[in-house]
Amino acid sequence: MAERPADVLLPRSAGRSAFGSDAAGYQAGRIGYPEPLFDLVFADVPANPRVLEIGAGTGIATRSLLERAPAELVVVEPDAALIDYIADQITDPRLTLVNAPFPEESLEGPFDLIVCAAAFHWMEPAAALARVSQLLKPGGVWAMWWNAYRNPGHGDTLAQAISPLIEGIALPPSEGPDGHYSLNRALHEEALRNAGFVDIRHTLFRRERRLDATEARALYASYSYVRALPQDQRNTLLDAIAHLVEHDFAGSAPNVVLSALYTARRVP
């Protein structure tokens, strides 16, 4: 996958404030993660684990984690608006919300399981993985995953049609001109090995759905790189995407969602 020049990438710091201004819009534009993904994440975790979630966003993964009967779920999220959104949407005595960036936060370990859904690209990987290792119990499980919604070259003809529209736009660290960096298996496995993790595993889930113009617009409106645009440019881009779906795809466009999961353990 081609590298995107640093001068056309959003800084990692942008992830700390890109989504809270319209948390409901983000929630409406995104879908959950495959249920089998959570089966794999919890396969080697003891019953009623103590769990840490990094970068919970609007709580899409948080809800599924709570369904897996943790004794405690600690959520660390740098955006205060998103913390407020989760507190308003999810009421559970097992849930503790911490408004702080990772890995600069101050938390008390150890945890049986630490996870990060669709947020790890906003952190410097070596420092984040070092902190994860500190907070995990020996033998504890680390899991990170993403939903990649724009997948040109994977039978995703809508993504291929949209690609020319986003040329020159500063993309987040997770996006490249040819697709999502979560699909770069070698990159992530090397980072995990370098951080001292063992039993590294990769699983890729594929889902296919169809989007009408309103759904496609909501999806792209939830992206950090679209939110970072000036209002008029943002509206022009979203209008063009909606027009594509209506006129080039007769109102129903295919959308391939690839979910890349990486799990590993701290050395026992």
Q: Smallest Cα–Cα separation from 224: which of 104, 126, 79, 63? A: 79
Could you give the percent of the chain with pLDDT greater than 70? 91
Contact indicator for 82, 101 with CB cutoff of 8 Å = no
Q: What is the pLDDT of residues 146-180, one digit of tens each?
A: 999 999 888 889 999 998 999 889 888 888 666 79
Q: Domains, the chain, ranges and CATH?
A: 6-149+179-210+257-265 (3.40.50.150)
pTM: 0.92
Rounded Cα–Cα distance for residues 202 and 190 (Å): 12
The arrangement of strands across the sheet holding 198-211 comes to 95-99, 72-77, 50-54, 111-117, 136-148, 253-265, 198-211
41 pLDDT above the threshold of 80: yes
pLDDT at 6: 40
Q: Rounded to 5 degrees, what are φ and ψ at 252?
A: -150, 105
Q: What is the pLDDT of residues 99-142, one digit of tens each?
A: 999 999 889 999 999 999 999 999 999 999 999 999 999 999 99
Provide the 10 A C-beta neighbour count for residue 196.
12
Angle (CA) 90 85 64, round 5°: 40
Rounded Cα–Cα distance for residues 178 and 159 (Å): 10
